[in-house]
Amino acid sequence: MTATLPTHRGTDTAVRLTGVRKTFGQGTRAVTALDGIDLRVAPGEFVCLLGASGCGKTTVLNLIAGLDQPSAGTIELSTSRPAVMFQEAALMPWLTAARNVELPLRLAGVKKAERETRAAELLDLVRLSGAGDKRPHELSGGMRQRVALARALASALNREGDGAALLLMDEPFSALDAITRDFLQSELLRVWQATGTAVVFVTHDVREAVRLGQRVVLLSSKPGRVVQEWAVADLDAPEGALVTEEINGRLREVISSHAA
């Protein structure tokens, strides 16, 4: 996993959301999930998105990925197609784990032999070297999540000269044990540093957010709005613990204010 790709820090933003609103449904059943989201991610930046369950994090990622259209506001991207890891594993049930990882390479027209090597490397990275020929239904929940991670990385790493790269991840480690999670966090950081891709990372684990991110963005719920941001790059352990405390407190506030 030593692939290095040209980084594109030339443009000044990887993503910019301006006044984005998203409403699902019509009439009386309409739900406004997001309202007036402004967010800018610099090229190569690692941004963590936090918020209560159901506040609209997934919706933000979907909008950035171009899978949904905002009801209002604009979204600018410097890349034509970000790599996405969904909240569900969403593996193709008819493909083995290895073939699932190969899929983005196949779609990009990579040759079979190279595809296979790269998929094997990525499966190795997520500690699933032996499970390449298993089908999704034969994998445990955490294994499926790791295959999805490998697939997202395959998609992220396979982009040549395509603007600033961008990786969107929706709770990628939620189904993993602490040790595997630790390990994969480091691997993710390594990949991020090596490729200089911008990352938008959704998580529920505040400590994870502080550990990984350069910036933490907190969303409120119903409707989702940006409540506060913290710069958390290069904090040492005690500082990190402090910020974590602070974010947790703010999160609690936001949730209870909503519940009230």
Partner 1 sequence: MPHEATAPVADHAVEGLDALDAPPEQPRRRTGLVRSVLAPIGALVLFVAVWQALWAAAIWPEYQLPAPIAVWDQVWKVTQTGQVWEFLWVSVHRAIIGFLISLAVATPLGLLLAKVAIVRAAIGPVISGLQSLPSVAWVPAAVLWFGTTDAAIYTVVLLGAVPSIANGLVAGIDQIPPILPRVGKVLGAGRVDAARYILLPAALPGYLAGLKQGWAFSWRSLMAAELIATSPQLGFGLGQYLHNGMSLSDMSMVMAGILLIFLVGVGIELLLFRPLERAVLRARGLSGSL
Ligand X SMILES: Nc1ncnc2c1ncn2[C@@H]1O[C@H](COP(=O)(O)OP(=O)(O)OP(=O)(O)O)[C@@H](O)[C@H]1O
Q: In whole angstroms, how close is the CB of 218 to partner 1 at the nearest point?
A: 26
Q: In whole angstroms, how close is the CB of 141 to Mg ion at the nearest point?
A: 4
Site for ligand X in 58-77 (CB under 6 A): 58-59
- Classify residue 95 as exposed, middle or buried by CB count within 10 Å of its CB (0-12, 13-18, 19+): middle
Q: Which is nearer to a copy of itself, 115 or 144 (CB)?
A: 144
* β-bridge pairing 166-170 and 198-202: parallel
Q: Pick one of 95, 175, 194, 235: the residue that binds a copy of itself (CB under 8 A).
A: 175
Instruction: State yes or no: residue 25 binds ligand X (CB under 6 A).
Output: yes
Alpha-helix runs per DSSP H in 131-236: 141-157, 178-195, 206-212
Q: In whole angstroms, how close is the CB of 66 to a copy of itself at the nearest point?
A: 19
Q: Which is nearer to ligand X, 2 or 53 (CB)?
A: 53
Q: Which stretch binds a copy of itself (CB under 8 A): 67-75, 115-123, 142-150, 227-235?
A: 142-150
**How many DSSP H helices and E strands does the chain contain?**
7, 9
- Name the one residue in this structure whose structure tokens are 């294994």: 143
Phi and psi angles of residue 11, each rounded to the nearest 5 degrees, phi first: -70, 155
Instruction: State yes or no: residue 114 binds partner 1 (CB under 8 A).
Output: no
Q: Which is nearer to partner 1, 76 or 138 (CB)?
A: 138
Q: In whole angstroms, how close is the CB of 128 to partner 1 at the nearest point?
A: 18
> How many of the other CB atoms lie within 10 Å of CB of 254?
21
Site for Mg ion in 3-62 (CB under 5 A): 58
- Partner whose binding site includes residue 120, from ligand X, partner 1, a copy of itself, none (CB under 5 to 8 Å by kind): none
**C-alpha 96: how far from its chain's center?**
23
Q: Which is nearer to partner 1, 142 or 240 (CB)?
A: 142
List own/partner pairs for 32-38 with CB under 8 A and 24 or more apart.
32/222, 32/223, 33/59, 33/223, 33/224, 34/59, 34/60, 34/63, 34/70, 34/223, 34/224, 34/225, 35/223, 35/224, 35/225, 36/73, 36/225, 37/73, 37/224, 37/225, 37/226, 38/226
- Partner whose binding site includes residue 99, from partner 1, ligand X, a copy of itself, none (CB under 5 to 8 Å by kind): partner 1
Q: Which amino acid is at 216?
A: V
- Name the one residue in this structure whose structure tokens are 């009386």: 28
Query: Alpha carbon of 207 to those of 46, 178, 185, 197, 238: distances in Å?
Result: 15, 12, 12, 22, 12
Per DSSP, what are the bridge partners of residue 20?
Answer: 37
Q: Pick one of 59, 155, 197, 244: the residue that binds partner 1 (CB under 8 A).
A: 155
Instruction: State yes or no: residue 136 binds partner 1 (CB under 8 A).
Output: yes
Query: Residues interacting with partner 1, by CB under 8 A?
Result: 25-27, 29, 65-67, 81-84, 86, 88, 90, 92-96, 99, 103-104, 106-108, 135-138, 151, 155
Query: Residues interacting with a copy of itself, by CB under 8 A?
Result: 24-25, 31, 50-54, 56-58, 87-88, 127, 138-143, 145-146, 171, 174-181, 204-206, 248, 251-252, 255-256, 259
